Amino acid sequence: MNEIRQDPTTGDWILVAPRRLSRPWQPEGFCPFDPGAPETGRGWDVLLLPNRYPVVSPDSPDVEPEPFYVRLRAYGRALVVVETPEHDLDDLSDLPEEQILKVLKLVKSEMARAMSDSGVAYFLYFRNKGREIGVSLTHPHAQSDELPVVPSRVARELERAEAYFRERGRCLHCDVIAAELKSRRVVYRGIRW
């Protein structure tokens, strides 16, 4: 059973999802994300699917209380964003800009829906890359997890951004972006960001 545990020494929230260990690797010659596969159908540009091996679920059962450890129900939704019907692309950056915009619009819409759920405190959109970290399907895709807690690191980052604003009257992230735009580490500059 999935659950969320709090590390008593750090306060960090840990997602525990033992069923994810049984995820199959992509069989040779078949991809469940290719157009025409049973889950995908045809005629789509970007596709949203439930994660078959989620870390959180809206119907996650309650957890039994323990006298010492803080444990939470693994409430939320785990989704897969299939970013293109094309299978043989290596990364999101290989997509045309119009396709990337379609992906981002879908993610923005899902984030707004998720944050309207009172049980969701945090929306995480992420991409994994490489077998070494557990990627079992090579088709270009990302995932999103809706969590009932804000991860400790994110909470610390938000606290620092608030403190920066109180001290300087400016947005920390805006200042970081301004500093980065002066450097050569910019990967892409568009009209909006």
Same domain, 43 and 123: yes
Question: 109-119: per-residue pLDDT in tens?
Answer: 999 999 999 99
Same domain, 159 and 113: no
Same domain, 145 and 156: no
- Report the pLDDT value the prediction gives residue 88, as an integer from 0 to 100: 80
- Report the pLDDT value the prediction gives residue 129, as an integer from 0 to 100: 75
Please check the confidence at residue 189 and state whether its pLDDT lies above 80. no
Same domain, 13 and 105: yes
Same domain, 82 and 168: no
Per the structure, the complete domain to which residue 96 belongs is given by: 3-150
Question: 80-89: per-residue pLDDT in tens?
Answer: 999 999 888 8
- Report the pLDDT value the prediction gives residue 155, as an integer from 0 to 100: 96
Same domain, 95 and 166: no
Q: How many CB atoms lie within 10 A of CB 66?
A: 9
Q: Which letter does DSSP use for residue 178 in this model? A: H
Q: Which two tokens stand for residue 48?
A: 């949203």
Same domain, 109 and 187: no
Split into its structural domains, the chain has a count of 2
Helix (H), strand (E), coil (C) string for 27-79: CCCCCCCCCCCCCCCCCCCCEEEECCCCCCCCCCCCCCCCCCCCEEECCCCEE
Please check the confidence at residue 20 and state whether its pLDDT lies above 70. no
Please check the confidence at residue 10 and state whether its pLDDT lies above 70. yes
Same domain, 110 and 55: yes
Same domain, 94 and 188: no
Same domain, 96 and 13: yes
- Report the pLDDT value the prediction gives residue 6, as an integer from 0 to 100: 94
> What does pLDDT average to over the chain?
88
Q: Which two tokens stand for residue 130?
A: 């490489």
Residues sharing a CB contact under 8 Å with residue 36, sequence separation 6 or more, in sequence order: 42
Same domain, 125 and 162: no
Q: What angle (nearest 5°) sits at the alpha carbon of residue 73, between those of residues 161 and 10?
A: 45
